[in-house]
Amino acid sequence: MTLYTDSIFLTNEIEGFRTCRDQRSTAVNTMTALFCEQGYIDVWYHNAMLRINAGELFLRIPDFSYQLGPYEMSPDFKFYQVTIDARVYEKVMYEHMRIEPNWYAKQEYVKAHPTFKFNEASREFFMTYFHLLTLQLQDHQTEYRRQILMLIARSAAMEMLNYMDKLAIITPSFEGRISVNHSDYTFREFTRILQQYPHEREVQWYAAKLGITPKYLSEICKDRSGKSASEWIADITVTEIKHYLTHTTMPIREIARIMEFPNASFFCQYTKKHTGLTPNHLRKQKKES
């Protein structure tokens, strides 16, 4: 069975695995969760061959430094795989930034230690989410399909973070033990400050907080995530705008004030520039979807 949309790819077939590998998984703009049910698969990951054995989950988070290469599987290899677009992953994780204090540490841990041994309960959770995604992808008549898929993805991400807590791999001192270079540290600090001050929209402001030039900050962001600092800022600002427009009935003027825009007119111009729609059209589009 292989099912997919433009932002999600789900399969438990060898041919589907190969198709996904050729078209999506080797790129830096996807996130993959693969559960090995039987046999094993060897995958070239971050300059080394990694073996994923039966009963293990492999998680690959979007990153230029952690790309996938050639693979070789056992004759009896059976698996379940979900691959999602990095934009979906970023949206889900951004929502967690505000409630999950160790989100960055956990993300870095997964990059360095991408396989997890599942017990029966963990396997059941994974298969439940896989089944829910399957049902939604098969139902083409669902009006709220995209929204439901996002909710399932968010729930699965929370379950993953909860599972890591149960493993006790993240302790209060864990972040201090993460081996990072200057670029890693700067990018982590940028995302932390972005979380604290989501309404600041100038790259220069964040660069000044970090004590570096705006150009250098953008270069670091581009290298670590494929997006510039201004793109990160715009993405998070647009996410905030959409939240207020689709989850509240606040007047446009009030939303502009809360988000610290100089006036409603500037807020409307910003929204149109970054989404292609005016605030009123975005709100109307949500009601009609």
For each of the domains in the chain, give its residue range(s) and CATH number, in order of start. Answer: 2-166 (2.60.120.280), 183-288 (1.10.10.60)
The parts of the chain modelled with pLDDT lower than 70 are: 23-29, 63-67, 92-105, 142, 165-182, 286-289
Sign of CA dihedral 67, 10, 38, 109: positive
213-219, long-range: CB < 8 A, 24+ apart? 217/186, 217/190
**Predicted pLDDT at 179:** 47
Contacts for 172 with CB less than 8 Å, ≥ 6 apart? none
Reading the block at residue 127, the tokens are 């298969």
Reading the block at residue 79, the tokens are 């698996």
Q: Is 104 exposed, middle or buried (0-12, 13-18, 19+ CB in 10 A)?
A: buried
Instruction: Describe the crossing of helices 203-210 and 182-196 by its angle, rounded to 10 degrees.
Output: 120
44 close to 69: Cβ distance less than 8 angstroms: yes
**Predicted pLDDT at 3:** 87
**Predicted pLDDT at 189:** 82
The H-assigned helical ranges of the chain are 14-20, 86-97, 103-112, 120-138, 145-166, 174-177, 182-196, 203-210, 214-225, 229-247, 252-258, 264-275, 279-288
Reading the block at residue 277, the tokens are 């729609």
For 198, the 3-state DSSP assignment is coil
